[in-house]
Structure 1
Amino acid sequence: MNYKIVVDSCGELTEEMKQSGYFESVAMSIELEGSTIVDDETFDQADFLKRIAASGECPKSSCPSPERYMESYAGEAERVYVVTLTAELSGSYNSAVLGKNLYEEEYGKKQIHIFNSKSASVGETLIALKIQECEEAGMTFEEVIQTVEEYIESQKLYFVLETLETLKKNGRLKGVKALVASALNIKPVMGATPKGTIYQIGQARGIKKALAKMTEMAAEGIQCGENKILGIAHCNCRERAEAVAEMIKEKKNVKDVIISNTAGISSMYANDGGIIVVI
């Protein structure tokens, strides 16, 4: 195995990715009412959503330590690629870079590259798959980096959530203009800027209309002839995710569709019923 792809746990790995042996997830964690929930294979989404609903507290997320990243760089793989949650909203990227420095101080130089996804959730998943595609095509380390960085620049992320409270309380909506009062049942359509921060693209009354608006925007973001994979992450609402996928496919052709249930960090921010679309 000449290469390895490390993804922080905000990015969901599909079953095929887990079984391939090429991917490793580095766990982030969540603090809620004095207890720590580790975002790994032990994460129980149903229990977590129940605890959130019953709690008056806002959960907080923590990124992996540099030491944990350092461990993930070890092993036989000659080339290690890392995909982290957008550096604008998390310390995960910086932690991964520090981990690389620690690794090289102790073991010497190795081909390690850390990608700032400027994205989250299934956006990270698609970036990880792009790395694998480039490696399997026989590209050099430098060619993989250049191709994937270009892919990151072209990627577009949209989301519609039932509530933005967790993002707001954790300071992830800085710079977003005042959002319309939820009493009117106005649901904002949100997106990621090229830098990897969050902004509001539009809004609609009610979740169905907001999702429809988001699918229009996502479809418009697909250039004619582009051979792109559509990624959709959902928090406990697969039927909603499948409906969004169908609406986008009716408007534009896509190479493939990946639908995943959100892992811990994405569940914390998306909340029950949230939908994230990446193209």
Structure 2
Amino acid sequence: MSYKIVIDSCGELPESWKTDENIESIPLTLTVEGEDIIDDETFDQSAFLKKTAQSPECPKSSCPSPERYMQAYDCSAERVYAVTLSSNLSGSYNSAVLGKNLLLENRPEQKIYVFDSRSASVGETLVAMKIRECEEQGMAFEQVIETVEAYIDSQNTYFVLENLETLRKNGRLSNLKAFVASALKIKPVMGSTPEGTIVQLNQARGINKAMMKMVDYVAQRAKDSEEKVLAISHCNCPARAEIVKEAILQRVSVKDVVILDTAGVSTMYANDGGVIVVL
């Protein structure tokens, strides 16, 4: 029995997945000052950060087409799963569902399911890991879906950003009170809602205090953590990711820890110095 996991490029890939035939990353496109940058293995984080910092315009992302998803689903695998960015943050989920419907017109027997991660970045990575775990345990297709959907329900996403400009300019913070707080170095602690939207949980003066407040939320809300993987992604700040990891592990037991550098879409939103935690 064979399976395939299709994940949009907001989900970071561990190194070993990049050559795994069971996994395909579908790139979003980033646009800065009219230049299209494909979020695939050619993405250059430092060049992108430099370019966006110098640009008065806000970088934008566009999701893959339904046809691109259909192409990824059209394979020899008996079961295909897609994992996308939260449908409340991107059109990627809708595009993945349309791609599924297009393929099923010609191959109605193909088993395909699209997971709305209701998260982003390493939240998607963890969903893909859960699918693999279920498949490797030999679960039936419907059982994989049920188990992974329950896992998504239990997952929490948190992040602290050094720089909120991209989120603000792209309207992703429209449901938050606006802060004119940069002069005070006030850093908000952000999190996801059960629906996959972004909320402000708290704030602190300075990034280090904000990271510790984020750790408090992770520890307080962790349920059955010893059965889960802690995932952290960071934008160009590995030392911060290590500090957050150590602080969480002092308070919570987990099955494993994954730390990844942000790929293109997450780099665009997290910006230089951002840290994202999912448990």
TM-score calculated relative to the size of structure 1:
0.97
Alignment CA distance shift 1:88-1:240 (3 Å): same
Q: Which amino acid aligns with 2:273?
A: G
Deviations 1:158-199 (A, max 9, x none): 000011111111111121123352111110000000000000
List, as ranges, runs of 4+ consecutive aligned residues in structure 1 with deviation greater than 4 Å.
Answer: none
**Percent of residue pairs bearing the same amino acid type:** 63
Please state whether the residue corresponding to 2:195 is helix, strand or coil: coil
Provide the residue aligned with 2:145 in structure 1.
Answer: 145
Distance 2:254 2:190 in 1: 22
Contact 2:43 2:263 in 1 (8 A): yes
Greater shift, 216-225 or 233-242, is seen at 216-225
| Partner SS, residue 223 of structure 1 | coil
Gap regions ≥5 residues in structure 1: none
Name the CA distance, whole Å, in 2 between partners of 1:167 and 1:40.
22
1:45 paired to 2:45: yes
Amino acid at match of 2:8: D
In 1, Cα distance between equivalents of 2:113 and 2:195: 19
Give the aligned partner of residue 108 of structure 1. 108
Aligned length: 279
Amino acid at match of 1:156: N
The aligned counterpart of 2:168 is: 168
1:216: which partner in 2? 216
How far apart, in 2, do the equivalents of 1:233 and 1:116 lie? Answer: 19
Kept after mapping to 1: 8 A contact 2:5/2:82 = yes
- Cα distance in 1 for partners of 2:225, 2:107 equals 45
Offset of residue 224 of structure 1: 5.4
User: Structure 1: how far apart are the matches of 2:267 and 2:41?
Assistant: 14
- Specify the alignment match of 2:56 in structure 1: 56
3-state SS, counterpart of residue 6 of structure 1: strand
Which residue pairs with 1:254 in the alignment? 254
1:18, CA displacement in angstroms? Answer: 2.0
1:167, 1:34 → 2: CA distance? 19
Q: Comparing 219-228 with 97-106, which one deviates more in the overlay? A: 219-228
Q: Normalising by the residue count of structure 2, what TM-score does the alignment of the two structures yield?
A: 0.97
Shift of 1:106: 2.8
CA distance in 1, matches of 2:247, 2:22: 33
Distance 1:122 1:211 in 2: 17
